[in-house]
Amino acid sequence: MKFDASEINRLRAIPLTAVLEQFGCEPDPADPKYQFKSPVGRLSIDRQSQTRFYAHDMGIGGGGALDLAQLLQTSQIDKQDREAFKNAAQVLGGDITPQAIERAQQRAKEDKATPSEPPKHSDDPKHTQAVKDYLVEDRKLSAGWVDRLFEQGKVFAGVSPQGFVNACFALDNGSIEQRGLTEKPFHGVAGEKGFWTLNIGKPERVVYVESAIDAVSYAEMAYKNKERDFSVVSITGSSREKLQSHVLENTNKGLKIQSAFDLDKAGDNYHQRVLEVNPSATRIKPTMGKDWNDQLKATKIMQQNPEVKKQVEQEINNRREKSVSR
């Protein structure tokens, strides 16, 4: 089968959800429009463009249906691999039915007609307490730290259009990182992805992590170890370009750059992006678990009950090994 330029453009413009459907990818119940379980792990569609995607477990992103089909077929995107490109085009040209494309286009029209709304700030004491309880009891953040973050407006209780109460972190660009309070919590960003920053003293170094909860967890443990004058920045899923621009800006200010991303493939890729613009950047790794909240929780549980120290270490390190092996 031969493909001319117009046909390639047509294939590239096929809705990403139609491609995901063809490959048997399952929508994530917590965010079924934009998050999916795929053969290459967790995959998300960009909420703004809806033509770009990112495979979180692999740290690979791309744009258009051809890139996505190639990734799902070969677990990589190689612009120079003509055979892989041809195979992806054949799948899109022959296997995806007009009905699947029509369904995807109809869903896109419905989404535009009813755009997602950001959560509404709630001052209801019950909502505020529910968020504080989640952060303190489930995430093991210290109550004093949580109270100060609420006072500063960096964290607040938000209510989604569906009526769910979420822990909301106000990003530097005005967007909101949301965390649901249920056993299998929703996690997403309302608005354009950006950064969440926590400054301790007058920063001389900047530590990059993946989420606001990790940022608070790291800051709390570092502060307890008498570390001062640093900034912790959650990248909150920001693009390569945004992350590298942010790193360069702080590098040019003379600040020391450290990455403290999760111990998994995505974390490795984020660190590599930092190194591309600052080769002298160092990486800090948690000693227990996959991320800094894992370490904070393990530390506090073991302090409260030394008898469970070995059990906690084993359980959290099992989680780390499972994540790294994916």
What would the 3-class secondary structure string for 248-284 be?
HHHHHCCCEEEECCCCCHHHHHHHHHHHHHCCCCEEC
Q: Residue 103: what pLDDT?
A: 67
Tokens of 137: 């009891």
Residue 282 inside a domain? The answer is: no
132 and 62, same domain (yes or no):
no
142 in any annotated domain: yes
Q: What angle do CA 287, 291, 293 make, to 5 degrees?
A: 100
Total domains in the fold of the chain: 2
Which residue is it, tokens 């780390």? 320
Same domain, 67 and 136: no
Rounded Cα distance, 36 and 30, in Å: 10
Record the pTM: 0.67
Q: How far is CA 310 from CA 300, 314, 317, in A?
A: 14, 6, 11
pLDDT of residue 293: 96
Count of residues making up the chain: 326
Residue whose token pair is 């400054």: 199
d(CA 124, CA 157): 8
Same domain for 25 and 101, yes or no, is: yes
Q: What is the pLDDT of residue 94?
A: 61
Residues 101 and 55 in one domain: yes
**Which ranges of the chain have pLDDT less than 50?**
110, 112-115, 325-326
CB 192 within 8 A of CB 48: yes
Instruction: Establish if 150 belongs to a structural domain.
Output: yes
Confirm whether 195 is domain-assigned.
Answer: no
Same domain, 99 and 179: no
Do the domain assignments include residue 87?
Answer: yes
Tokens of 118: 């950001």
Residues 15 and 83 in one domain: yes
Asked whether residue 22 is assigned to any structural domain, the reply reads yes
The most distant pair of C-alpha atoms in the chain lies apart, rounded to whole Å, by 68
Q: Is residue 54 part of a domain?
A: yes
Both 24 and 108 in one domain: the answer is: yes
Quick one: which of 22, 162, 35, 150 has its CA closest to 90? Answer: 22
Domain extent, residue 156, equals: 125-189
Is 54:61 a contact under the CB 8 Å cutoff?
yes
* Residue 15, helix vs strand vs coil: coil
Q: Are 82 and 146 in the same domain?
A: no
